Amino acid sequence: MAEEKNTMADDYEWTEDLKNLNKELEERILAANEDQTKVKWNKLLPDLMTAEVLIVGQFNQGIQTDKTLNILMIQKDGHAIVPFFTSPERMSVLVKPDNNNFEVMKVNTVRFFQSIKGRPCVLDPMSPYARVFNPFEMKVLAAENEDKVPPLPAEKAV
């Protein structure tokens, strides 16, 4: 009997939609990384800013039931850097389903850049899609694209 392999996508029903949503974006990112002139990145950035990406973290229960989110960080050249991902497959290099005590969240890129307040980040680390964003670049991109961010879904009444 063949053993079925559990994947992170099995754990989160929305990841299949996200994988398909960002498939074209990933193809464009790969082409942009190969483009020495950076013209393709300049054309791609507005679409990346309006896209939903994945972040990984852990919720800690605080005083009076407040929850705080500790976002996963990695070390690069001796500095802490925040990873974010275009798909569950890109994320699997850091977070394994069989040892998963992390929460995976879907967030708009502009909102993500605004929330990490000056920390450098890397898109899809350890993959051909990887790209580092410095704090100044993130601030400029978030400001330039803030008006294009889709509205947050309305909270459901209990």
Q: Report pLDDT digits (tens) over 44-82.
A: 999 999 999 999 887 776 555 566 667 888 887 888 899
- Report the distance separating Cα 5 and Cα 158, nearest Å: 36
Q: What is the pLDDT of residue 125?
A: 92
d(CA 3, CA 43): 44
Which tens digits make up the pLDDT trace of 120-135?
Answer: 999 999 888 899 999 9
Q: In the chain, helix, strand, coil percent, each to 5?
A: 40, 25, 35
| Inter-helix orientation angle 23-34/39-50, to 10° | 150
Residue 15 pLDDT class (50, 70, 90 cuts): low
pLDDT the model gives residue 4: 38
Q: Model pTM?
A: 0.78
Res. 112: pLDDT tops 90: yes
Tokens 């960002």 belong to: 22
Q: What is the mean pLDDT of the chain?
A: 80
* Distant-in-sequence, close-in-space partners of 142: CB < 8 Å, separation ≥ 6: 49, 110, 113, 114
